[in-house]
């Protein structure tokens, strides 16, 4: 028996419209440069990055980075571990980090610090979703898709223990169900 689909929080067409707007804004802002490096944060940002990157009108290259949260109880919560670094040289380049969702802010804050050590010309951030009320560290999101409440969302790249990642819309689930 198939399980019911999660209820829709943000529809496919609303996501599409917002991604197009973000792509326009980013393309305008960087129109005088020599292109940007988009760094997608695996795994959750892979669909957002694919759609956003194809709608930009400026030169762009793609990199990926992977992180995971420390699950060891001896390590304070919020600590982030680098699982895979960027492969290309980003020194002197304009970098745009592309995240699926900013929750506590620890991941994005860690990534900004880590990528700064590679010597890029600039770093900006783009996130599809932000749970503002969950913030534990302050982190600037230059390009934001949607603000959402304190709820667990899936789809469009986001998962719950690897489930529902390829739903075409953003849905809400109860992780305790
Ligand atoms: P932060 O470090 O607390 O900001 O967490 C960011 C990461 O937690 C995201 O990149 C996601 O992988 C994951 N995450 C946080 N909230 C959700 C959610 O509602 N759905 C799916 N993943 C989430």
pLDDT of amino acid 35: 96
Mean pLDDT over 59-88 rounds to 83
Query: Is 103 an annotated catalytic residue?
Result: yes
**Residue 175 confidence (pLDDT):** 87
Does the Cβ of 104 fall within 6 Å of ligand 1? yes
pLDDT tens-place string over residues 15-70: 999 999 999 999 999 999 899 999 999 999 999 999 999 999 999 999 999 998 76
**Residue ranges of domains in the chain, CATH in brackets:** 11-169 (3.40.50.2020)
CA 93 to centroid of chain Cα atoms: 19
Whole-number pLDDT of residue 75: 47
DSSP 3-state assignment of 137?
coil
**Confidence class of residue 1 from pLDDT cuts 50, 70 and 90?**
low
Q: How much of the chain is helix, strand and coil, in % rounded to 5? A: 25, 35, 45
Mutation test residue for ligand 1: of 42, 97, 100, the one with most atoms within 8 Å of CB: 100
Residue pair 173/154 in contact (Cβ under 8 Å)? The answer is yes
Question: How far is 71 from 29, CA to CA, in rounded Å?
Answer: 38
Q: What is the token pair recorded at 58? A: 């400026």
């Amino acid at each position: 028996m198939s399980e019911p689909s999660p209820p829709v929080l943000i529809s496919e067409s609303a996501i599409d419209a917002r991604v197009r707007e973000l792509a326009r804004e980013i393309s305008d802002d960087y129109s005088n440069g020599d292109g940007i490096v988009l760094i997608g944060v695996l795994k959750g940002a892979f669909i957002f990055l694919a759609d956003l990157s194809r709608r930009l009108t400026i030169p762009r290259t793609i990199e990926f980075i992977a992180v995971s949260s420390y699950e060891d109880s001896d390590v304070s919560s919020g600590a982030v571990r680098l699982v895979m670094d960027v492969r290309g040289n980003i020194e002197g380049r304009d970098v745009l980090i592309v995240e699926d969702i900013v929750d506590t802010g620890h991941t994005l804050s860690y990534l900004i610090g880590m990528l700064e050590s590679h010597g890029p010309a600039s770093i900006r951030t783009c996130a599809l979703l932000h749970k503002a009320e969950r913030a534990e560290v302050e982190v600037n999101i230059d390009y934001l898709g949607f603000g959402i409440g304190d709820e667990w969302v899936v789809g469009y790249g986001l998962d719950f223990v690897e489930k529902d990642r390829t739903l075409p819309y953003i849905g809400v689930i109860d992780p305790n169900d």
